[in-house]
Structure 1
């Protein structure tokens, strides 16, 4: 079952090797010309602040120890490259014997990426200060506003919305707005 649609898959790895597997997949994708099929590799982590002996220390914990998320198009070649990466023991959702795995549901990956503070989808939003956008997600969904600031690094923008006869400014993620045609 070859799929030419981008989907997220879960890889099982040796525990403690998640970051090494991520680096290996990224370098193999580049060196083997698979950049058009293997997109993002994510090791879900969360940072906690622990106080020990009166000193605050940030500790990074793996959200899913032994697992790595990869966004890819499932072709025979991309499956082979990822599956045979050192440290990868297999795909979650694959029944073995060379069968392809089932991708994560969109709701599952949206929830995981949002909890990590990451964009749930790659957005090719082309807006400039002064453009009008339609808000498609969040508290202001359905409203239109004027862009006052664009931060392409963080994929955020500031939009002025006219509410109750007053201008209200809000900060939104790129994925929360759409261009108005």
Structure 2
């Protein structure tokens, strides 16, 4: 049997349900997801998001002719088509997507490097390069507010997170 990767369109936010129902039928599928860091209610959290929302890749043989059974699977709308032709994804594309998802999702966030209010940090670039400061608070996802002693006066200044590093005590 010559199996190929087909693309199916799922109902909105029902990709996982469709994947589970396909698995119950013995059909292998791939739902590419990535983990991202987001600010939710003022806190950084890791969320999993679909790389291609509403799309799922399934690995079946064209000879199976189970297309009707797959289309009637709960969570699936239909196969993706180009005219009358059902869309087929190359095995190289699927391997590449799996490798990308695996490498992105393996990047764990090191919570020991997270900054807390009062932590001592060093400025790595810019006009204040080499100066020590005190971490005050996050200023969005990309920036932080530091307390920097300039001319014997503490000033709150916003810095890019890539331009600061935590100092070991």
Q: TM-score range by the shorter chain?
A: 0.5 to 0.7
Partner Cα separation in structure 1 for residue 79 and residue 30 of structure 2: 14
Match of 1:83 in 2: 71
Structure 1, unmatched stretches of 5+, are 30-34, 119-181
1:63 correspondence with 2:51: yes
Shift of 1:84: 1.6
Structure 1 residues 105 and 54: alpha-carbon distance in aligned structure 2, compared to 1, 3 A threshold: same
Match of 1:110 in 2: 95
Partner Cα separation in structure 2 for residue 60 and residue 77 of structure 1: 33
Tell me the TM-score normalised to structure 1 length.
0.50
1:25-40 paired onto structure 2 within 5 Å: 25-27=22-24, 29=25, 35=26, 38=27, 40=28
Shift of 1:21: 0.8
Structure 1 residues 53 and 12: alpha-carbon distance in aligned structure 2, compared to 1, 3 A threshold: closer
Partner Cα separation in structure 2 for residue 16 and residue 91 of structure 1: 17
Shift of 1:54: 5.3
1:23 correspondence with 2:8: no
Contact kept in structure 1, 2:7 and 2:87, CA below 8 Å: no
1:98-177 paired onto structure 2 within 5 Å: 101-117=86-102
* Largest Rg, 1 or 2: 2
Tell me the TM-score normalised to structure 2 length.
0.53
Structure 2, unmatched stretches of 5+, are 104-169
Structure 1 residues 53 and 87: alpha-carbon distance in aligned structure 2, compared to 1, 3 A threshold: closer
